[in-house]
């Protein structure tokens, strides 16, 4: 895979304008394999993942494979993940690989080389990363991703309830840990148009008003939509005027309709129509225009 001439933010903006903002997860959870009547082995994984990507990737802007569920099957699972990424790109979708890597020094450099460098088998359009060894530990990854026309999505305020104890902890400057991460990402995105290449994860289930995303100039991946309980109305309540920059993420709520490809396709269409009904289709994705406040 060669480097892109346009940055990830620009390519994402173009994809969302064409297909809407839905980020569709591909999570081969053992329970979903069971529900689809598939064995919990590499063969079942392959059937599940390729069926899902072949339906989803032709309709959505972004597909998000959850790497852990592929890694659980060892080398055969990684081979399936590689094929999923190839199928998604062939269908015109961007691949956001959900790996949540976070380390320091040469170890983080190796992760960056595996996931965002040119020529690596698992290179994706963007990856999720963890900043909890210090946001500065991600600088090399951000630099390498940008040089290759790819993106990085940084965990900031996640949707799992236990995250609040760490992510809402106050720093000496009075900011929360989550806000400090958002602010660091905003600095990385300064001056990038039409949209920065570095985004943040902010759960759709978090209380409104916790974060100021006004200077982010990057995408917001919003997990918690669908199976975790957040509705389209919740997305608008939580993100308010920042809604045009939000990528709602849904996986199990769509995948539970498999293995019938027709039922999967209909589920995707329903979700996309519900988002369009709340204004998510108006003008595509752009910079966040204000703080995350209830409207």
pLDDT tens column, 184-197: 999 999 999 999 99
- pLDDT, residue 228, reads 65
Q: The pTM is what?
A: 0.92
Q: Give mean pLDDT, residues 16-34.
A: 96
Average pLDDT, the chain: 90
- Model confidence pLDDT, tens digit, residues 59-84: 999 999 999 999 999 999 999 999 99
Contact 247, 21 (CB under 8 A): yes
The model's confidence at residue 241, banded by pLDDT at 50, 70 and 90, is: low
pLDDT of residue 290: 37
Residue 280 has what pLDDT?
A: 63
Residue 48 has pLDDT above 90, yes or no: yes
Ramachandran sector of residue 280 (left: φ over 0; alpha: ψ -120 to 50; beta: rest): alpha
100 is catalytic: yes
- Stated as kind and residue range, the H or E segment containing 185 is helix 177-189
| pLDDT value for 124 | 98
Domains, the chain, with CATH or none: 8-277 (3.20.20.70)
Across the range 82-106, mean pLDDT stands at 97
CA angle 181, 186, 187 (to 5 degrees): 100
Q: Name the active-site residue from 47, 64, 100, 175.
A: 100
Q: Which residues of 120-132 are buried (b: 16+ CB within 10 A; e: fewer)?
A: eebbbbbbbbbbe
Predicted confidence (pLDDT) per residue in 244-258, tens digit: 679 999 999 999 999
């Amino acid at each position: 895979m060669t480097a892109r001439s346009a940055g990830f933010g620009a390519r994402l903006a173009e994809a969302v304008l064409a297909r809407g903002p839905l980020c569709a997860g591909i999570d081969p959870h053992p329970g979903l394999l069971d529900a689809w009547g598939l064995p919990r082995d590499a063969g079942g994984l392959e059937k599940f993942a390729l069926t899902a990507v072949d339906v989803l990737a032709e309709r959505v802007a972004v597909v998000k494979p959850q790497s852990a569920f592929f890694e659980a099957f060892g080398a055969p699972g990684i081979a399936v993940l590689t094929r999923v990424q190839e199928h998604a790109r062939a269908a015109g979708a961007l691949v956001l690989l959900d790996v949540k890597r976070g380390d320091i020094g040469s170890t983080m450099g190796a992760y960056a080389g595996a996931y965002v460098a040119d020529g690596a088998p698992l290179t994706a359009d963007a990856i999720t990363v963890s900043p909890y060894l210090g946001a500065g530990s991600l600088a090399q990854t951000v630099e390498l991703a940008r040089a290759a026309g790819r993106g990085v999505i940084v965990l900031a305020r996640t949707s799992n309830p236990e995250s609040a104890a760490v992510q809402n902890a106050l720093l000496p400057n009075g900011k929360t840990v989550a806000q400090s991460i958002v602010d660091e990402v905003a600095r990385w995105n300064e001056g990038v148009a039409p949209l920065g290449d570095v985004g943040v994860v902010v759960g759709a289930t978090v209380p409104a008003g916790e974060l100021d995303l006004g200077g982010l100039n990057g995408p917001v991946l919003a997990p918690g939509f669908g199976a975790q309980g957040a509705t389209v109305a919740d997305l608008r309540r939580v993100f308010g005027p920042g809604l045009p920059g939000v990528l709602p993420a849904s996986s199990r709520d769509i995948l539970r309709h498999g293995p019938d490809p027709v039922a999967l396709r209909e589920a995707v269409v329903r979700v996309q129509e519900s988002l369009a009904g709340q204004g998510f289709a108006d003008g595509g994705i752009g910079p966040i225009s204000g703080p995350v406040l209830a409207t």
